[in-house]
Structure 1
Amino acid sequence: MGSVYKPPDSVVVNRIQRAFPSDELRERARATNLIQRERKLDVVALFYTLSLGFAAGSDRSIQAFLERYVEMADCDELSYATFHGWFKPGFVALLREILDEAIENLDTGQTELSGRLERFRDVLIVDATIISLYQDAKDVYALDDDRAGAKLHLTESLSTGLPTRFRTTDASTHERSQLPTGEWVAGALILFDLGYYDFWLFDRIDANDGWFVSRVKENADFEIVEELRTWRGNSIPLEGQSLQAVLDDLKRQEIDVQITLSFDRKRGSGASATRTFRLVGVRNDDSGEYHLYLTNLERDDYRAPDIAQLYRARWEIELLFKELKSRFGLDEINTTDAYIIEALIIMAALSLLMSRVIVDELQKLDAKQRDCADDAAASSTRLPRRRCSHAVERHAHLIQLYLMLDLGYELPDLDSLLLWSSRDPNPHRPRLREQVESGEFW
């Protein structure tokens, strides 16, 4: 009797299963009635196929995912039409539910902030990016009259590197409309792109015991009510001046003042409110122009250069968008089907979370190995997150194989798999050679 292959124990595989338990995936699928309706659907195999499918590189097509699924579920009788038909509202809703649950509960263990950031519960970076789509998708995902695009609205936690909010709209939706206010900001520093420049929003963050730093629009004009830093010599007095009236004449290295701004107390009410916030500016020596920021952080805790340095952390979300587009396929959505578009966007987010889970486990493994070796450099970061992500991407197919075996799936028959994958899906379409040999001349 031949021995049964047992894969070696893998802490990475175990960590993946703890993050996305098979029993919970099946239970969620049963709740949507997908299992009863689609007998060939194995939701566990499908989920891991989709979430580890980024190893296919730019080929994030339904055909590529089908081939991966057949490898894992060993069901070579599954047709493309059947597989394509699974991507309907119920399945997209299931993916969204899994994503929302993961965003809420995943823990990378990397939550401590230090230095300038240690006073904050977290630093949350808010931004949006446009995903280009085929023009025929503009009925659902409109960018303008002639173009189609989806807009991804994302909030990233600087402490964990994970999204805390992930929403998709058509590209014409304004960023500000997708950002709720409330107790979620308490104790956190919120960093804004100019797409969220809104005085009412700043007031709500302050009222909910949060902090914010936002860039200032170029044409913004405020009344300066107090200077928070005085300058020796013949400096221009700013108190009582408007910002634009004095900005071009200033030569000082920093601006640090209190300003007033007015906004609707309640949207659409017509009743205005006035608040005082801090405006800081740091002069660029090369251009002579100021980078201006609005904030409610106190000068005693953060001087003007500190505010500028805090805002630099906003670049992290740009790197996250780049990762989603270049590695997880958000720039390669080659379909006009609204449900598949939504599914591919959610799948990119799940792929990102899966990658982060694996990277976190790799960093823990590395730390344990260095502790055991009494490495003098043990305190340094030996496995940078993005380098780890590249390694996970290169070996995702192998990770899926180990996961498959650990979950009790069997390796597919190689000959049958290759035959199935090689068969022409359009066998009645004449090949070029056949047309040359015996086809009619047009």
Structure 2
Amino acid sequence: MARRRSSIPLRSSLRKLFPASLLREWSVQTGAVQRHRKVGIEALFWTVVLGFGTGRQRSIAGLRRAFEKATGRTLAPSSFYKRFRPEFTALLKLAVGHAVDSALTTSRRLEGPLSGFRDLVLADATVLRLHSLLEHRWPATRTNHTRAAAKLHVVLSVRGASCQAVKITSERAADGRVLRIGPWVSGRLLLFDLGYFRYQLFSCITRNGGFFLSRLKSNANPTIVAINRTHRGRAVDVVGQPLQDVLDRLQRDVLDVMVRVHFRRRRYRGQQSGAEQILRVVGVRDPRTGQRRLYVTNVAPEALRAEDVQAVYAARWEVELLFREWKQHYRLDELPSRKPEIVEALLYASILTLVVSRRLGELVRQRLGKRRDRLRAHRWAKIFEAVAQDLLLVVLRRPRDTVVIRGILQRFLLRESIDPNANRRSLIQAVEAREHQYRMAA
């Protein structure tokens, strides 16, 4: 019984994530496969996702060899190369959308200063350098040292440990313009860097019942309308004054005030109206440098203490760790082609590799019992990278042909996934326990 409970259904779990019937439906819808040949869409899909994304095969020729090894079929190089057309890219894009829509929501509850929120959501973007001949498709900014660059925008759910939204644009696209706010933000706390700072965005989140926390721009100068804590002695009276006028005169280590901000709404039918909103500004002085970091939020003081604001904002580094994992282990920034359809296909393949990795990692976590919290994302990424080629055989070969390798993989995954350092905490666990040492971030 114990052995049955700890077994991991590798093949069925991965094929259930992207069923063969759904892949065939997408292939017809996009025109990726016009007639059945040696290169079936299911085998091609899994070869690209488990081959290129894990860094084992860095060329189309390498992917072809991985395909031949997994399927036992021999192909002419030109026959395999011709599969990387815009139609196949469209299929991979549909697969990314399907993965985002069906993202897992774990039963894990947020704790500590995050306990009052349904989820913690992080939005950010990372830049990917491309071949200069692709500048017509993905133009870079003027300050960039290369002429072509793409930007990957991600909305990450901490509770679900998965991407809630993914979009690829040129580097010139502004970060905040890509994020779409709706009823889904209700009860969730969204963390932003300064690239997303817009009062219109904050107002939209508030109207939809969501919460946000962002750094305050250095030139922002809202009017203080109330204070959330009193100070003994001859405290400076700040109510009714612009924020920037009083900052240099304040000696207090923690500033917690309500401010009024004015902004212009989005233009609608040629008209653009003004609006105002009452927000909360928290300033916390770093004891090491003496600098005061200012944050703006709509979370009430009763729901989030001023002393916890800085630690909670540090959780935004989780998305930076995701980008590092993507680039180090899934080779997101190593795109060796100058053909736009191939580059875009490999971009989506890297995204799908992360999706498959996180889904399989969650299956392993569920079978670790009391030791489930000792599976760390960076450790799992290395493990998944090591077994990806074996997983390709498990997915594409008949079950009776992979009995031995599946048994070896299951024992390996359950054994190696456990971090030997039992006291090591993840970033989110440290934030929940109020133990995280804040790092200065832009």
TM-score by length of 1: 0.84
Aligned match of 2:366: 364
Q: 1:95 aligns with which of 70, 92, 95?
A: 92
Following the alignment from structure 1 to structure 2, what is the Cα–Cα distance between the partners of residues 248 and 38? Answer: 72
Give the letter for the 1:244 counterpart. Answer: Q
SS of residue matched to 1:313: helix
Aligned match of 1:158: 158
Following the alignment from structure 1 to structure 2, what is the Cα–Cα distance between the partners of residues 133 and 230? Answer: 54
Following the alignment from structure 1 to structure 2, what is the Cα–Cα distance between the partners of residues 264 and 346? Answer: 36
Deviations 1:156-208 (A, max 9, x none): 00101110100001111111111112212112111111111000110010011
CA separation of 1:58/1:396 partners in 2, compared to 1, >3 Å: closer, same or farther? closer
SS of residue matched to 2:374: coil
CA contact (8 A) 1:200 1:265 kept: yes
Q: Which moved more, 1:310-319 or 1:20-29?
A: 20-29
Following the alignment from structure 2 to structure 1, what is the Cα–Cα distance between the partners of residues 35 and 9? Answer: 35
Larger radius of gyration: 1
Deviations 1:270-306 (A, max 9, x none): 4211111000011111221111111000011211122
Aligned match of 2:342: 340
CA separation of 1:335/1:38 partners in 2, compared to 1, >3 Å: closer, same or farther? farther
Instruction: Name the Cα RMSD after superposition.
Output: 2.1
Give the letter for the 1:100 counterpart. Answer: G
Aligned match of 2:124: 127
CA separation of 1:344/1:290 partners in 2, compared to 1, >3 Å: closer, same or farther? same
CA separation of 1:222/1:60 partners in 2, compared to 1, >3 Å: closer, same or farther? same
Aligned match of 1:170: 170
Question: Alpha-carbon deviation of 1:53?
Answer: 1.5
Query: Which segments of structure 1 move beyond 4 Å, counting only runs of 4 or more?
Result: 407-410
CA contact (8 A) 1:213 1:296 kept: yes
CA contact (8 A) 1:108 1:360 kept: no
Following the alignment from structure 1 to structure 2, what is the Cα–Cα distance between the partners of residues 48 and 140? Answer: 27
Pairing 1:222-241 to 2, within 5 Å after superposition: 222-241=222-241
Give the letter for the 2:220 counterpart. Answer: A
Aligned match of 1:387: 379
Following the alignment from structure 1 to structure 2, what is the Cα–Cα distance between the partners of residues 212 and 262? Answer: 18
Deviations 1:314-368 (A, max 9, x none): 111001111111111111112221111111111111000111111111112222x
Q: Which moved more, 1:301-310 or 1:123-132?
A: 301-310
Aligned match of 2:38: 40
Aligned match of 2:115: 118
Question: Alpha-carbon deviation of 1:54?
Answer: 4.8
SS of residue matched to 1:275: strand
Give the letter for the 1:294 counterpart. Answer: V
CA separation of 1:379/1:341 partners in 2, compared to 1, >3 Å: closer, same or farther? closer
CA separation of 1:56/1:288 partners in 2, compared to 1, >3 Å: closer, same or farther? closer
TM-score by length of 2: 0.84
Aligned match of 1:281: 283
Question: Alpha-carbon deviation of 1:388?
Answer: 2.0
Deviations 1:194-239 (A, max 9, x none): 1110001100100111000011112221111111111111222211
Aligned match of 2:351: 349
* Residue correspondences, number: 392
Does 1:271 pair with 2:273? yes
Following the alignment from structure 2 to structure 1, what is the Cα–Cα distance between the partners of residues 244 and 120? Answer: 31
Aligned match of 2:405: none
Does 1:402 pair with 2:404? no
Give the letter for the 1:93 counterpart. Answer: A
Q: Which moved more, 1:210-219 or 1:12-21?
A: 12-21
CA separation of 1:68/1:380 partners in 2, compared to 1, >3 Å: closer, same or farther? closer
Give the letter for the 1:125 counterpart. Answer: L
CA separation of 1:202/1:55 partners in 2, compared to 1, >3 Å: closer, same or farther? closer
Q: 1:77 aligns with which of 72, 75, 78?
A: 75
Following the alignment from structure 2 to structure 1, what is the Cα–Cα distance between the partners of residues 281 and 53? Answer: 46
SS of residue matched to 1:219: coil
Aligned match of 2:326: 324
Aligned match of 1:427: none
CA separation of 1:56/1:230 partners in 2, compared to 1, >3 Å: closer, same or farther? closer
Q: Which moved more, 1:155-164 or 1:138-147?
A: 138-147
Following the alignment from structure 2 to structure 1, what is the Cα–Cα distance between the partners of residues 234 and 287? Answer: 20
SS of residue matched to 1:263: strand
Q: Which moved more, 1:143-152 or 1:187-196?
A: 143-152
Give the letter for the 1:272 counterpart. Answer: G
Aligned match of 1:413: none
CA contact (8 A) 1:134 1:148 kept: yes
Does 1:315 pair with 2:313? no
Following the alignment from structure 1 to structure 2, what is the Cα–Cα distance between the partners of residues 391 and 110? Answer: 24
Question: Alpha-carbon deviation of 1:380?
Answer: 6.2
Q: 2:104 aligns with which of 100, 103, 107?
A: 107
Q: Which moved more, 1:258-267 or 1:292-301?
A: 258-267
Following the alignment from structure 1 to structure 2, what is the Cα–Cα distance between the partners of residues 55 and 36? Answer: 26
Give the letter for the 2:394 counterpart. Answer: Y
SS of residue matched to 2:349: helix
Aligned match of 1:217: 217
Gaps of 5+ in 1: 1-8, 368-377, 411-442
CA contact (8 A) 1:54 1:396 kept: no
SS of residue matched to 1:282: strand
Does 1:248 pair with 2:261? no
Following the alignment from structure 2 to structure 1, what is the Cα–Cα distance between the partners of residues 8 and 361? Answer: 14
Give the letter for the 2:34 counterpart. Answer: Q
Aligned match of 1:190: 190
Give the letter for the 2:26 counterpart. Answer: R
Following the alignment from structure 2 to structure 1, what is the Cα–Cα distance between the partners of residues 57 and 19? Answer: 27
Question: Alpha-carbon deviation of 1:40?
Answer: 3.1
Pairing 1:409-424 to 2, within 5 Å after superposition: none
Following the alignment from structure 1 to structure 2, what is the Cα–Cα distance between the partners of residues 26 and 13? Answer: 18
Following the alignment from structure 1 to structure 2, what is the Cα–Cα distance between the partners of residues 55 and 209? Answer: 37
CA contact (8 A) 2:253 2:285 kept: yes
CA separation of 1:30/1:111 partners in 2, compared to 1, >3 Å: closer, same or farther? farther
